[in-house]
């Protein structure tokens, strides 16, 4: 009979889809359905590749300018043009990708590590430790992070490490607050109680029960954190507090180009455009991750 055949077929489909699928696999499937996120992902991957191999494939060195060809428009020789001392813009951008990535990832890791330690401590310990840490979080939240970073750069200097620290240190508060709330939500939940009833130790519960269940949310927070830190680096450079000028960076290029915006606008278009697209791509990915992995995203 036709109808029973139809029922059988749909049964088979359901079986195939729901068997042995881990929550992460399901999240990935939801992520794949998010078109913008996938496009963003492609751009992010290209950006990462550029960051890794960029300096090796760059047609020109970032230090040596060609004084006979300054402020040129795009051409076959210099596809993104050259700046006011004859640097090839394309090469400059390739180098900048690497420095931007190193600082952005480094800073995010720094804030994340501080945040996760303090957040876990506050959430699991409770009591006075919790109160002190959370008041510190409130304090950090009221400070303008950018100003704080600016002051730290002045104190620490303008190298890679100091920039990573300057941007990373003020950023921990948000992560700490997120992790604390996730831990609190689970600490008295049935799942943890059941695990305790089985004789699981605190450490075991933190490792096998809490961590795997917060990883999704933390990944989302990280994904949102990276574009934020990218903006901060560029912002610092525009204020003249980023990497020292011979080292190329998006902020430096944008700052320089904006001085000559009327004469040589393409010097602004390429770095600013690529930078903006990158931020957008990271945000799309973060958005897709949030939809795929946050507890409200279904399942």
Residues that bind another protein in the complex, under the rule CB under 8 A: 18-24, 126, 188-191, 193-201, 204, 208-209, 212-213, 299
For 56, counting Cβ atoms within 10 Å of its Cβ (0-12 exposed, 13-18 middle, 19+ buried), the class is exposed
The partner residues of 88 in beta bridges, in order of sequence, read 82
Pick from 202, 240, 219: nearest CA to 287: 219
Name the token pair of 12: 């088979």
CB 164 within 8 Å of CB 207: no
CA triple 192-196-197, angle to 5 deg: 115
Integer Cα distance of 285 and 23 in angstroms: 18
Residue with Cβ nearer another protein (4 or 18): 18
- Closest distance to another protein from the beta carbon of 298 (Å): 11
Integer Cα distance of 75 and 57 in angstroms: 18
Count other C-beta atoms under 10 Å from residue 54's C-beta. 20
Distance from the first to the final alpha carbon of the chain: 34
Residue with Cβ nearer another protein (26 or 260): 26
Residue with Cβ nearer another protein (134 or 241): 134
Give the helix/strand (H/E) hosting 216.
helix 211-238
- Closest distance to another protein from the beta carbon of 195 (Å): 7
- Closest distance to another protein from the beta carbon of 130 (Å): 12
- Closest distance to another protein from the beta carbon of 129 (Å): 14
**Cβ-Cβ contacts under 8 Å for 27 (sequence gap 6 or more):** 216, 289, 292, 293, 297
- Closest distance to another protein from the beta carbon of 122 (Å): 15
- Closest distance to another protein from the beta carbon of 29 (Å): 14
Pick from 91, 73, 69: nearest CA to 81: 73
Residue with Cβ nearer another protein (48 or 211): 211
Residue with Cβ nearer another protein (10 or 299): 299
For 125, counting Cβ atoms within 10 Å of its Cβ (0-12 exposed, 13-18 middle, 19+ buried), the class is exposed
- Closest distance to another protein from the beta carbon of 180 (Å): 16
Residue with Cβ nearer another protein (3 or 16): 16
Residue with Cβ nearer another protein (125 or 135): 125
């Amino acid at each position: 009979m036709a109808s029973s055949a139809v029922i059988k077929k749909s049964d088979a489909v359901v079986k195939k889809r729901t068997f042995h699928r881990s929550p992460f696999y399901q999240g990935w499937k939801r992520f794949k359905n998010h078109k913008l996120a996938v496009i963003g992902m492609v751009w992010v991957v290209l950006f990462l590749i550029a960051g890794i191999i960029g300096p090796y494939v760059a047609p020109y060195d970032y230090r040596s300018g060609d004084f006979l060809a300054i402020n040129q428009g795009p051409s076959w020789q210099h596809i993104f043009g050259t700046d006011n001392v004859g640097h090839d813009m394309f090469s400059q951008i390739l180098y900048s990708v690497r420095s931007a990535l190193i600082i952005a990832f480094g800073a995010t890791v720094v804030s994340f590590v501080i945040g996760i330690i303090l957040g876990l401590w506050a959430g699991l310990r409770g009591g006075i430790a919790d109160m002190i840490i959370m008041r510190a979080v409130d304090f950090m939240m009221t400070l303008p992070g950018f100003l704080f970073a600016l002051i730290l750069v002045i104190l620490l200097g303008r190298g890679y490490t100091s920039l990573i620290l300057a941007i990373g240190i003020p950023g921990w508060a948000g992560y700490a607050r997120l992790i604390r709330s996730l831990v609190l939500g689970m600490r008295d939940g049935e799942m943890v109680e059941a695990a305790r009833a089985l004789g699981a130790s605190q450490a075991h519960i933190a490792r096998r029960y809490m961590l795997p269940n917060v990883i999704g949310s933390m990944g989302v927070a990280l994904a949102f954190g990276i574009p934020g830190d990218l903006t901060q680096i560029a912002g610092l450079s525009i204020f003249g507090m980023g990497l020292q000028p011979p080292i190329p960076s998006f902020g430096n290029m944008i700052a320089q180009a904006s001085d000559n915006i009327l004469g040589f606008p393409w010097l602004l278009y390429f770095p600013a455009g690529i930078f903006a697209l990158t931020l957008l791509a990271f945000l799309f990915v973060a958005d897709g991750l949030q939809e795929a992995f946050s507890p409200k995203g279904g399942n």
